[in-house]
Amino acid sequence: MRDDLEIRPAEGERDILSELPGELMMWVLIASELLVFGAALIVCLAVRAIDPVKYAADQAMLDQTAGAINTLVLVTSGFCAAVAVRSREREERRKARLWLGAAGALGIVFLIVKGFEYASKASLGIGIETSQFFTFYYLITGFHALHVVAGIVVLALVAWADSVRNMEAAVAFWHMVDLVWVLLFPIIYVLR
Amino acid sequence: MPARYLVEAWVALLVLSAATAALTTMHPEGAGRAIVAGGVLLLAGLKARVILGRYLGLAGSHFWMNAFGLAIGGFLLLSFALYTFGSKG
């Protein structure tokens, strides 16, 4: 591309988009995901406002301890992923892979805890159609769990194709999964 | 990014999560319930800021940190309004 055809900010003008760290498309994805989860959580709270008694009775059946454990697991996993990027930037590729492995392993722990939670609900005969609350619970936490699965796959991929750019993008996705959980957890599990 | 910076963020997230857990043990009635809910949402907002600023690297851009902060703050305020509206009666 010829330089004189590029659109550049005028002298002294601020290029806001260039202030975003990493890939622009990753930020588009992060913003979209936040909007989707945010909208679902708002609708969930609106459902609560319609029938708070039934909602509270259903919500009381959730395991807050499992949710809290998963919060610790995910924030620690996010830390491991951040250290992996730092190691890769310092050309410590083996170390970076180990940290990515730790992040992914904690992602698996998250899914196991979530699996126990779902199994415990299933053993009580609670499913997605049991009530409006449980429809939202399964849809929102299930969609989030799918993101965790995707994140683990992406972390494994960048442990193999380990350019700094790939790793930064994958880890940004992982932090987004973490970010969604810290907003989802209090609304679904804690606010009673 | 210095390792200390990342460790500080992780510790902050653990402390904020512990504070959330402490708030869940309280079961006040009336206005106290709304205060606890507000505290829980405030802590969620602080956790989100730590992740955005430290892990996602937005701390380097005031504009984007404020933009995401405003969006998440607005979301948490709306959540709080719906929570208090749903807790009436």
**Mind spelling out the 3-state secondary structure of chain B?**
CCHHHHHHHHHHHHHHHHHHHHHHCCCCCCHHHHHHHHHHHHHHHHHHHHHHHHHCCHHHCHHHHHHHHHHHHHHHHHHHHHHHHHCCC
Residue B47 CA to residue B42 CA, distance in Å, equals 9
- Indicate the angle between helix axes A52-59 and A24-50, nearest 10 degrees: 120
pLDDT tens digit sequence for B3-31: 888 999 999 999 999 999 999 888 788 78
Considering the domain A25-190, what is its CATH architecture?
Up-down Bundle (1.20)
The ipTM, to two decimals, is 0.94
Q: Touching check for B3 and chain A: CB below 8 Å?
A: yes
Residue B6 CA to residue B40 CA, distance in Å, equals 24
B contact residues 16-55, partner A, Cβ 8 Å cutoff: 17, 20-21, 23-24, 37, 40-41, 43-44, 47-48, 51-52, 54-55
pLDDT tens digit sequence for B24-81: 888 788 788 899 999 999 999 999 999 999 999 999 899 999 999 999 999 999 999 9
Whose CA is closest to A170, among A54, A44, A85?
A85
| Structural tokens at position B77 | 């305020």
pLDDT tens digit sequence for A148-181: 999 999 999 999 998 999 999 999 999 999 999 9
Please name the member of B1, B43, B61 whose beta carbon is closest to the beta carbon of A86: B1
The residue in chain B having the minimum alpha-carbon distance to the alpha carbon of residue A38 is B75
Residue extents of the structural domains in chain B: 3-86
List CB contacts of A40: < 8 A, sequence separation 6 or more.
A136, A139, A140, A143
List the single best residue of A183, A184, A189 to mutate versus B (max B Cβ within 10 A): A183
